Every structure is written in C-alpha cells, then in structure tokens.
Amino acid sequence: MDVDVDVRFTPAGTPLAVRFDGRIWAVAADPVHWFTRDAWWNTRRTAAVGSGDLVSIEFWQVQVRLNTNSALRTFTLRRNPLSTQWLLESISD
C-alpha cells in the first residue's frame, strides 16, 4: 500500500491519531512498536560518516476507529531510515 499519512503522537512518543484519506482515525488500544533492519548496502552505494541511522525501519501497529461506534481497524505504519514521513503499509479489519 505505502500511502503517506500524518501521525500525531503523545508527549511520551506513542501514536495518538492517524490522518488517512482525509479522515482522522483515533488510536483505540495500546499500540505495538518494533524495528527491523534495512539492507542498506543493497540500496545505497556509500554511506557518509555521520549520515545517521541507515538501517532501522520503524513500525507501529495501531488499532484505530473513526468514532466510538465504528469498528476497529488495524493500521501498520512504517518509517524508513532517515525519513520523517510515515507510510501506511497495510490495513486489516
């Protein structure tokens, strides 16, 4: 899927809401957070000293809803190394 989304975070750094498709989806359950590693040597030829973290791909899996009466949906969010943009990787019911 890989659609750009805006994610609003709490002061503690956990997702609070996701803006997707012109709507704001509120996080309704404790999110799950993890990292995977990118094989940067396959996608980038060189890495300058001090470039930052070139390998950590950040994920959040959040259960969201539009309002208190709507069904929960699960969004998997991803942020690639050195990026500030969050991507909606998948949606499941």
Spans in the chain with pLDDT lower than 70: 40-41, 43-48, 51-52, 54
Where exactly are the structural domains of the chain?
Answer: 3-92
Position 1 scores a pLDDT of 87
Position 57 scores a pLDDT of 93
Q: What is the pTM of this model?
A: 0.86
Position 44 scores a pLDDT of 63
Position 51 scores a pLDDT of 67
Position 91 scores a pLDDT of 97
The Cα 25–Cα 39 span in angstroms is 32
Phi-psi region of 65 (alpha: psi -120 to 50; beta: other; left: phi over 0): beta
